[in-house]
Structure 1
Amino acid sequence: MRRVLRLTPPRRAPGRRARLLAEATRLALATGLVLATGLVLTGCLPRPTAGNRLVVASRNRIDSVDPAGAYTFGAMQVLSAIGDPLYAIAPDGSIEPRLAVGLPELSGDGLTARVELRRGVRFHDGTPFDAAAMVFTLERFLAIGKLSYLLGDRVSGVRAVGPHTLELQLKRPFGALAELLSAVNLTPLSPTAYRDHGRRLLNERFVGTGPYRLTFFSDQQQRLEPFADYWGPKPANAGIDLVSLSNSTALFGALTSGEVDVLLSTSLEIDQQADLRRRARQGLLREGSGPALEISYLTLLTDQPPLDDPKLRQAVAYSLDRRTISERVTLGLRPPLRDLVPPSLPGAEPTAWVSYDPERARSLYREAGYCQGKTLALPLTFRSNIPSDRLFALTWQAQLREDLGDCVELEVSGMESTTAYRQLGEGAFTLILLDWMGDFPDADSYLVPLLACDREEGDRCLEGASAASGSFWASPGLQAELQRGAASRGEERRAVLQRIQRLTAAANPYVPVWLVAPRAWSQRQVSQPRFDGSGRAVLQELRREPTRP
């Protein structure tokens, strides 16, 4: 079930605590705005025209359009327009066959799956799409894909058993196979076009089956032209120019000055998102939003002091005032989250983690030996290049100082995100704020990357995803539960996934913070942006239309 965002905080008297939090937020906002420099250079943008060709802006610099090498949100957005998956996820969460003609047919033991493919589909180079092309694509992805684990952890082999019949051998039963095959990284490629790149990346060119052809590529601009021989509905526009601008201020200015037709909200600062939402309500712009599939969470280092003490981890969980922080930091645009799985996905457990309770937190800090003349110094690392992270850190610091200052002191420090990611698996951070969006919309793609462990010792993960994610947490029987959840379906699977989250919430190796939904804004003369069930804007539906008075 999708949550309704509260846009206006309730009115109340500005007491000392509220003033402290407001001052921390103003300080962080001022810092973020000083850092957000740069103006829109109109000469660098394709000018919007009176025709039906559109300019779509974001902050997504793209290094590769090779599905085997792409992994960023921006690259996935481009690939969703120039490639086709076997399956797509509709906005309501249902599965839609695309290049497949029906759902996978599973053998009795669940280890063999057959997928019938659509006939009459052609690649952008005019060659036919068939099962052999799909095998070529999947084997190439297994061999060189940066996200090859998506397939490699679950599939042992693929083969064509007919001109348009694909067979997959699974390592173990997997109930969300169709959702996995909706991952845009698995979009088919023309074996002819990629003959010389079967085992190496082709970063600047793409030949697939999607509604657009890629006719120009650089890391800051991509030009998409409608594919005349596309098998499905033709794009509603005459083409798309995707452009990347350097920062949030430049993006905001480009939309409000009419330099671009559509703006995707990735990396746009919160106050500017709120301003655009206000303009949309006034009829000056159009706004669209997609399913909230990105989660933000705290990772707690569980195998070293001080957070190797489960009581202290639970105290930290009780110390997080999500509602106030969401209102102060995100103006209510990002609702509080007490779950590692987005609430819209089957298997979510929306109240798994405890809610804010300062008295319960104080009691736990006392049991651990604090609050009686001794204060826990708790270091929190935030990603310095992400404005909302800085806002969160300073606001939570102020909240703890006011409510639990005799028990715990948050020591905040920033680190550039790529540096932080490199050090995460080394156990470098006692407490760090991160975010995650699954590679495909299913609970498995949220729980496994955070909880899977290949080698464990008691409650410590020595090797595996849990260690790489910086928590190093393990629990006896958890890996068997993860496999049981992956293999089951329906209500049985839902129950297992919810049980996994309750078990994790009791140990608090992670503490969910808030939920992020993608947004986009368009000019009044452009149709309202719409998103698919994987959280990507549907570019082929955008069109210029008469402005209503």
Structure 2
Amino acid sequence: MCEGLVRFEEGSSKVIPALAESEPEISADGTRWKFRLRRGVTFHDGTPLTAEAVRFSFMRQMDPTHPYYVAGRMTAARRLFGDPTTTESVIVRDIETPDDWTVVFVLAQPRASFARNLAVPQAAIVSPRAVMNAAADGQTTMVGTGPFRVAGVRPGRSIVLERNPQYWGEPPRIESVELRMISEAVERERALRQQQCDVAAGLPPQTLAKLARSKEFMVTTAPGMTGCVLLLNHAVPPLDSARVRRGIALAIGREKLMRDLLLEYADAGYGWLPPAMVEAAHPDAQSENFGDVNEAKRLFAEAGVPGGFTVKLMALTVPRVYNPAGAAVAEKVAQDLTACGLTVILERVPLEVASRRVAEGDYQMAVWGAVAWNGDPSAYWADLFGDGQTNALNYRSGELHALLRQLETEIGEPQRKATCAHIEKLLHAEIPCVPLFYARQAVVARREVRIEHLNVMGLTRLDKVGIVREE
């Protein structure tokens, strides 16, 4: 429906032009990003795409004084772009429109991840006229420039999209699509089997494996941008010992975890970044012998706890995007640690309770998740380590703090890859937490539906989906 100036390349976290006709021109100091717009592009309501429309789409989300700002509904965008009315954590200081086809973002400081910020859904460009009309008559603001346009909405139930005949790019392969909201995985599977839908996502690994064996369905997978990690609270001895943390990391058998619970729908947590990230280095961790009980016991003994220790492990009661196997992962971790002499007390808690306790540091160990919400390593690591000084792990590292700041302001892929490799080596040495696995995206479709590939950010392009009817 809606598109941004840039988008993620299929199968990668790399950013490529969309409504912008080319890569941005970035000033020498990294604070001015100039984009030139494609000519002749129109919104679904027939109004033209202009630089002022781009500015409108961003400012109405960033600026609480904007006439079309909606309080309480713009928090994600303000994290991406900041608030130009304050000097606190500002990212975008201003947006200039020197002519109808040129947009210049003026940043408060260099920010390497800014291009990826512009590729997420919150950066989509919408029709100013549609937003103004929606404020008056309550109609949808989902009026963009994309290959599909909104044909009907049933709030909380479904959205019907139809092909946009005026689309500036390659036309969609299908004429229309209905997006249905089905909250329970078992109901999504039932709808698929009863031919009430053609495609379903968010199914557990065991269901995916079962459907993959059927001649009726095809499962398409791709790496994702979420990681399942074992949080270790450094404020709780002996988890403040690097030897103990390394012993815990070695005690957990990654391959068995994959084989028994995640099947083929996750990548083992050898490195410190989702494998789909172009900056992922995956250093020495791959050579470790995970599941090595004897080495784990040796490290515990060196740390002064030869007989093991008692620790509480918090687990969510429901599966999450980063952990489709749910509480079973924590149970498997507990089994592996018990085999090394630890006494593990498993705490099963609902999401809202777990979120509060992790934020307050009221836990010892927890099976948790991290998300690269913009496909950038700085965002993923910020989810885990904050700024390197303040985080839920109670992990303090001046070196990590400096490296994360360097990564955020560094412009240029080779330089950022080198910095990421440095950070991964530091994390591998200190083991502030334990990467368990990186969940893969998985979509099940009926055999006649053709899904070429999934976007690593979960933003699969529906215009690339096709239908093949048997003769």
TM over 0.5: yes
Q: Which residue number in structure 2 is paired with residue 540 of structure 1?
A: 463
Deviations 1:429-457 (A, max 9, x none): 21111223322222222123322328x4x
Match of 2:145 in 1: 209
Aligned pairs for 1:194-205 within 5 A = 194-195=131-132, 205=141
Q: TM-score, normalised by structure 1?
A: 0.75
SS of aligned partner of 1:289: strand
The residue type equivalent to 1:149 in the other structure is R
Q: 1:244 to 1:197 in 2, by over 3 A?
A: closer
Correspondence for 1:502 among 425, 433, 451: 425
How many equivalent residue pairs?
A: 443
Q: Which amino acid aligns with 2:193?
A: T
Secondary structure of 1:178's partner? helix
Q: 1:151 aligns with which of 61, 81, 86?
A: 81
| Equivalent position to 1:302, from 197, 211, 234 | 234
Cross-structure match for 1:260 = 197
CA contact (8 A) 2:387 2:404 kept: no
One-letter identity of the residue aligned with 2:50: D
Q: For residue 167 of structure 1, what is the amino acid of its counterpart?
A: V
| Equivalences for residues 459-498 of structure 1 within 5 A | 461=390, 467=391, 470-486=392-408, 487-498=410-421
> How far off its partner does 1:394 sit?
1.6
> What do the CA deviations read for 1:457-512 (whole angstroms, capped 9, x no partner)?
xxxx2xxxxx2xx2122211322211222213232211111111221232222211
Question: Residues of 2 paired with 1:535 and 1:301: CA distance?
Answer: 31
Tell me if 1:174 matches 2:111.
Answer: yes
Q: Secondary structure at the match of 1:113?
A: strand
The residue that corresponds to 1:376 in the other structure is 309
Aligned equivalents of 1:89 and 1:180: distance in 2?
10
* Secondary structure, counterpart of 2:300 in structure 1: helix
2:405 is matched by which residue type in structure 1? Q
Say whether residues 1:393 and 2:312 are aligned partners. Answer: no
Q: Select between 183-192 and 344-353 the one with higher mean Cα deviation.
A: 344-353
Contact 2:451 2:464 survives alignment (8 Å):
no
* 1:343 counterpart residue number: 275
Residues 54-91 of structure 1 show CA distances to partners (whole Å, capped at 9, x for unaligned) of xxxxxxxxxxxxxxxxxxxxxxxxxxxx1112112222
Amino acid at match of 2:250: Y
TM superposition shift of 1:388: 1.1
Q: Alpha carbons of 1:151 and 1:475: their partners in 2 closer, same or farther (altered >3 Å)?
A: same
* Equivalences for residues 70-469 of structure 1 within 5 A: 82-93=1-12, 94-143=14-63, 145-147=74-76, 148-152=78-82, 154-195=91-132, 205-214=141-150, 215-264=152-201, 266=202, 268-279=203-214, 283-353=215-285, 354-356=288-290, 357-372=292-307, 375-386=308-319, 388-401=325-338, 403-404=339-340, 407-453=341-387, 456=389, 461=390, 467=391
Q: Which runs of 5+ in 2 are unaligned?
A: 64-70, 83-88
Note closer, same or farther for the CA distance 1:493–1:259 as it changes in structure 2 (3 Å cut). Answer: same
1:344-373 C-alpha deviation (Å, 9 max, x unpaired): 32221324545523222112212333333x
Could you give the per-residue CA deviations for residues 89-128 of structure 1, whole angstroms, max 9, x where no partner exists?
2224343211001111011222111011112222222222
Instruction: Give the Cα–Cα distance (whole angstroms) in 1 for the partners of residues 468 and 111 of structure 2.
Output: 44
Aligned twin of 1:519: 442
Provide, for residues 135-171 of structure 1, a one-character-per-residue CA deviation record: whole Å limited to 9, x for no partner: 1111222236222222225322222121111111122
What runs of 5+ residues in structure 1 fail to find an aligned partner? 1-81, 462-466
1:474 and 1:171 map into 2 onto residues whose CA distance is 27
Name the structure 2 match of 1:57: none
Contact 1:318 1:361 in 2 (8 A): yes
1:72 corresponding residue in structure 2 = none
* Other structure's SS at 1:446 match: helix
State the alpha-carbon separation in 2 of the partners of residues 518 and 481 from structure 1.
30
Query: Separation in 2 of the partners of 1:364 and 1:203?
Result: 62
In 2, distance between residues paired with 1:544 and 1:395?
41
Question: Which amino acid counterpart does residue 151 of structure 1 have in structure 2?
Answer: F
State the alpha-carbon separation in 1 of the partners of residues 440 and 221 from structure 2: 7
* Structure 1 partner of 2:67: none
| C-alpha contact (below 8 Å) 2:268/2:436 kept by paired residues | yes
- 3-state SS of paired residue (1:286): strand
- 8 Å CA contact 2:221–2:265 kept in 1: the answer is no
Alignment deviations for residues 385-409 of structure 1 (CA, whole Å, 9 cap, x no partner)? 11612111122222333x31xx212
Q: Distance in 1 between matches of 2:252 and 2:326?
A: 15
1:337, 1:350 within 8 Å by CA — same for their partners in 2?
no
Give the drift of 1:533.
4.3
Q: 1:398 to 1:196 in 2, by over 3 A?
A: same
> How many angstroms apart in 1 are the aligned matches of 2:101 and 2:311?
58
Match of 1:531 among 449, 454, 458: 454
Mapped to 1, the partners of 2:6 and 2:456 lie a distance apart of 11
**In the alignment, is the contact (CA less than 8 A) between 2:243 and 2:299 conserved in 1?**
yes
CA distance, structure 1, for counterparts of residue 139 and residue 373 of structure 2: 20
Query: Is contact 2:31–2:108 with CA below 8 Å preserved after alignment?
Result: yes
Cα distance in 1 for partners of 2:402, 2:62 equals 25
Deviation at 1:203, TM superposition (A): 10
One-letter amino acid of the structure 1 residue matched with residue 80 of structure 2: L
State the distance in 2 between where 1:197 and 1:378 align.
54
Supply the distance in 1 between the matched residues of 2:181 and 2:196 (Cα, whole angstroms).
Answer: 13
- Distance in structure 2 (CA, Å) of the matches to 1:547 and 1:295: 39
Contact 1:530–1:538 under 8 Å retained in 2: no
Output the CA distance in 1 between the equivalents of 2:50 and 2:289.
Answer: 52
- Whole-Å separation in 1 of the counterparts to 2:252 and 2:105: 45
Distance 1:178 1:233, change over 3 A: same
2 CA distance for matches of 1:310 and 1:240?
52
Q: Deviations over 1:300-348 (max 9, x none)?
A: 1122334223332222212211111111111232221122311232221
